[in-house]
Amino acid sequence: MKAEDRAGFDFEWWGKESTTTRSGQACRSESSRCSGTGRELQLTVTVPSSLSLGISLWPDGIGWKGKGVFRSPVLNTVLPCRPYHTGLCAAKLLVESGLNPVVLEARNRVGGRTFTVQNKETKYVDLGGAYVGPTQNRILRIAKEFGVETYKVNEKENLVHYVKGKPYPFKGPFPPMWNPLALMDYNNLWRKMDEMGKEIPMEAPWRAPHAEVWDKITMKELFDKLCWTRAARQFANLFVNVNVTSEPHEVSALWFLWYVKQCGGTMRIFSTTNGGQERKFVGGSNQISQRIASKLGERVKLERAVYRIDQTGDNVVVETLNKETYEAKFVIIATAPGLHLKMHFNPPLPPLRNQLIHRVPTGSVIKCMVYYRESFWRKKGYCGSMVIEEEESPIGLTLDDTKPDGTVPAIMGFILARKARKLAALTKEERKRRICEIYSRVLGSEEALYPVHYEEKNWCEEEYSGGCYTAYFPPGILTQYGKVLREPVGRLYFAGTETATEWSGYMDGAVQAGERAAREDVPARQFVATFWERNLPSVPGFLKFLGTSSVLTAAVVASLLAYKRGLIPRS
């Protein structure tokens, strides 16, 4: 493996048990001002042959994207880790800041909770994070930089709300309520949630005026207090399922109200048009990670995982599953908090941090894509978006997933929260059958029963994600532990979409989290002045010193002359 440090040295490794680096060219760095054959840097790297985990060391540092991040022995480098695009965005920013990170990814692919599959049946399909929309400016900026275009999810025709066994076409972000009491109840619920959200600081929700009270209750308890009608309460439950892949009785009211607020409010988070699901990326969302990885080149290493991080020495020592050992100055960990349990820390994590990672589970979702010969739903006046309120239905929400040119007709559906856990026991074929049956009833078409292809991804079985979309906070956790979520521990920094303060749980939040952690990890070092820099006088000071010295010298000389001539009596 070869690497070049920022000063211009070339280094080469050879041998598995230990290695000595050698320089291959003169230093080009103005700050170092060295020349000739260069310096020698000796590093010992133990590489057992149990697993195919490797690493590339750069004198400017090493990096790791997987289940943690760390730096190189003597130099300043960073190692980002996994969810969505977080680690790669952190590495990208570090490179642009003049550092030279290496990214280690625990999986055999980049992208984390984004996952684009390519095959002849689908061309490409996003089985993980896929949607972007207005105000998600960070991910859109990255996409534009790498030439990845977006297209609008189809919503030209009617959406359909399926409740009590009947379909009701509608337009807009939320289904209408025909019962006047339900309509008032429904409208008051969204208005009240947005009003409560306005009291919650995005950067520190635990500082909200009513934080303690709201954090002690679940969203189910809040809905029971706010909702007068069963219709509003049932839709509110689905609203939680869709947005955080969890149940209302599982999540803190404070956390969920914050989550909705930092995504722009109830309408922005739930809407397709002008909302969080307005657009997708042409070619798939995983392109962004792939293009960043391509730009980073050999800095990105796949199938790397870490189980031990030791901060007790001058440098951080990191050990991988196959007993490779590396040293670094700093570490960025960009995984969901619960995945930190796969790592061993020395010294142990502080009490609050240690308990936090035991208390924040990740949501449950199976993403399902059903492909058809044609977009028959459009012929019936439906856009493909379905909001399904039926306990026996596996799917709660769908969107049209036909390609922007009209080819590969498909409907995307989410199996959410309790249903994802329940239906995980079924076979893939059985899940497909049940999904097609509910689509047939909602759309009123036999064609829905005859798909030409089916894809799905159960994120609950992903070892290095633990679920999707994001980690959630049960009651009582945010006010007690939230303040340590982004707080560094020694030379350890934390990223991941869960640490974002805008669009947390989305790709945009992942970018924000990665760039924030990278900026934290580019520390400002103290400038140390030399003795002369501290004590050398200014020109006026020097002239004043000369003047004073001249007077004193003249006085001493005059005194000596007077003394020798007897003008000054001897005592």
Q: What is the mean pLDDT of residues 285-292?
A: 90
Residue that wins the pLDDT comparison between 143 and 549: 143
Q: Which of 24-38, 435-449, 490-504 is predicted least confidently?
A: 24-38
What pLDDT shows up at residue 100? 73
Task: State the CATH number of the domain containing residue 88.
Answer: 3.50.50.60
Residue 236 token pair: 């509110």
In a domain, 437, yes or no: yes
Among 461, 481, 501, the domain-final residue is 461
Phi, psi angles (nearest 5°) of residue 300: -95, 125
Tell whether 169 is covered by a domain.
Answer: no
Please determine, for residue 82, whether its predicted confidence score (pLDDT) is greater than 70.
Answer: no
Domain-ending residue, one of 270, 295, 326: 270
Asked whether residue 369 falls in the same domain as residue 455, the answer is yes
Provide, rounded to the nearest whole percent, the portion of the chain with pLDDT above 70: 79
Task: Out of 135-149, 360-374, 416-430, 433-447, pick the least confident.
Answer: 135-149
What is the per-residue pLDDT for 60? 33
Q: Which of 82, 100, 85 lies closest to 3 in space, CA to CA? A: 100
pLDDT tier for residue 72 given thresholds of 50, 70 and 90 = very low
Lowest mean pLDDT among 291-305, 342-356, 524-538: 524-538
Kindly state whether residues 428 and 501 are assigned to the same domain: no
Q: Which of 115, 43, 40, 91 is nearest to 294 (CA)?
A: 91
Q: Kindly state the DSSP code that residue 104 receives in the 8-state scheme.
A: E
Name the 3-class secondary structure at 561.
helix
The pLDDT of 86-101, averaged and rounded, is 75
Phi/psi region, residue 165 (left: phi>0; alpha: psi -120 to 50; beta: rest), is left
Query: Phi-psi region for residue 238, left (φ > 0), alpha (ψ -120 to 50) or beta?
Result: alpha
Q: How far apart are the first and last CA of the chain?
A: 85
Is position 69 within any domain?
yes
Residue 22: give the domain boundaries.
Answer: 1-44
Residue 435 pLDDT:
99
Is the pLDDT higher at 68 or at 487?
487
pLDDT of residue 79: 55
pLDDT tens digits for range 25-38:
333 333 333 333 33
pLDDT at 482 over 50: yes
CB 496 within 8 A of CB 83: yes
Average pLDDT over residues 167-195: 91
Mean pLDDT of 434-462: 97
The pLDDT tens digits of the residues spanning 360-415 come to 999 999 999 999 999 999 999 999 999 999 999 999 999 999 999 999 999 999 99
φ, ψ for residue 368, nearest 5 deg = -125, 135
Say if residue 92 is in the same domain as residue 144: no
In this prediction, residue 438 has a pLDDT band, given cuts at 50, 70 and 90, of very high
Question: At what angle are helices 86-96 and 286-296 packed, to 10 degrees?
Answer: 40
pTM value > 0.75:
yes
pLDDT per position as a tens digit, 498-557: 988 888 888 878 788 877 877 775 554 444 556 665 665 666 666 677 777 777 777 777
Is the predicted pLDDT of residue 110 greater than 50, yes or no?
yes
- The radius of gyration of the chain's CA atoms, rounded to the nearest angstrom, is 31
The amino acid occupying position 318 is V
Largest CA distance in the chain: 130
pLDDT band at 568 (very low <50, low <70, confident <90, very high): low
Question: How far is 336 from 352, CA to CA, in rounded Å?
Answer: 16
The pLDDT of residue 342 is above 80:
yes
Burial grade of 537 (CB within 10 A; 0-12, 13-18, 19 or more): exposed
**Stretch 307-326: mean pLDDT:** 86
* CATH number of domain containing 442: 3.90.660.10
- The CATH number assigned to the domain holding 241 equals 1.10.405.10
Known binding residues for FAD: 86, 105-106, 306, 498
Instruction: State mean pLDDT over 464-472.
Output: 93
Is there a single domain that holds both residue 252 and residue 289?
no
Residue 480 lies in a domain: no
Candidate from 43-47, 192-196, 548-552 with smallest mean pLDDT? 43-47
Structure tokens at 155: 């919503």
Confidence of residue 162 (pLDDT cuts 50, 70, 90): very high
Q: Structurally, how many domains does the chain consist of?
A: 4
Domain-located, residue 212 = yes
Rounded CA separation 168/334 (Å): 43
Look-up: residue for tokens 């005059």?
558
* Sheet of 316-320, strands arranged across: 325-328, 316-320, 306-310, 344-346
Quickly count: other Cβ atoms within 10 Å of residue 449's Cβ. 11
Task: Give the pLDDT mean for 185-207.
Answer: 95
- 345 and 316: one domain? yes
pLDDT (average), residues 130-134: 94
134, with CB counted inside 10 A (0-12, 13-18, 19+), is middle
Residue 161 has pLDDT above 50, yes or no: yes
- Give the lowest-confidence range in 57-66, 276-285, 357-366: 57-66
Q: How far is CA 109 from CA 122, 287, 299, 406, 493, in A?
A: 20, 12, 14, 29, 23
Mean pLDDT (whole number) for 475-496: 94
* Residue 533: per-residue pLDDT: 52
**Residue 475 falls inside a structural domain:** no
Least confident of 194-208, 285-299, 430-444: 285-299
Does 53 share its domain with 72? yes
Calpha distance 484→105 (Å, rounded) = 25
The per-residue pLDDT of the chain, averaged, comes to 82
- 3 state DSSP class of 428: helix
Mark whether 264 and 180 lie in a shared domain: yes
Q: Which residues participate in the annotated binding site for substrate?
A: 414
* Within a domain: 563: no
CA atoms of 118 and 121, how far apart (whole Å): 8
Residue 271 confidence (pLDDT) above 80? yes
Q: Can you list the alpha helix ranges (DSSP code H) found in 53-160?
A: 86-96, 137-145
CA distance 544 to 553: 14
**C-alpha to C-alpha distance for 240 and 557, rounded to whole angstroms:** 93
127 and 110 in a common domain: no
pLDDT band of 49, cuts 50, 70, 90: very low
- Give the count of beta carbons closer than 10 Å to the beta carbon of residue 44: 11
Q: How high is the pLDDT of residue 376?
A: 98
- Identity at 158, one-letter amino acid code: N
Q: What's the pLDDT score for residue 193?
A: 96
Q: What local confidence, expressed as pLDDT, does residue 571 receive?
A: 57
Q: Where is the binding site, in residues? A: 86, 105-106, 306, 414, 498
Higher pLDDT, 532 or 324: 324
Residue environment code for 308-337, b if the CB has 16+ CB neighbours within 10 A, otherwise e: bbbbeeebbbbbbbbebebbbbbbbbbbbb
Residue 138's alpha-carbon distances to 146, 182, 512, 517, in angstroms, are 13, 38, 7, 15
Do 402 and 323 sit in the same domain of this protein?
no
pLDDT category of residue 103 using cuts at 50, 70 and 90: confident
Question: What per-residue confidence (pLDDT) applies to 542?
Answer: 62
What share of residues in the chain are helix, strand, coil (percent, to 5)? Answer: 35, 15, 45
Q: Residue 335 has what pLDDT?
A: 84
- Regarding whether 383 and 450 lie in a shared domain, the answer is yes
419 in the same domain as 345: no
Reduced 3-state DSSP string for 130-162: CCECCCCHHHHHHHHHCCCCEEECCCCCEEEEE
The pLDDT of residue 120 is above 80:
yes
Q: What is the SS3 assignment for 416?
A: strand
Phi, psi of 536, deg, nearest 5: -65, 130
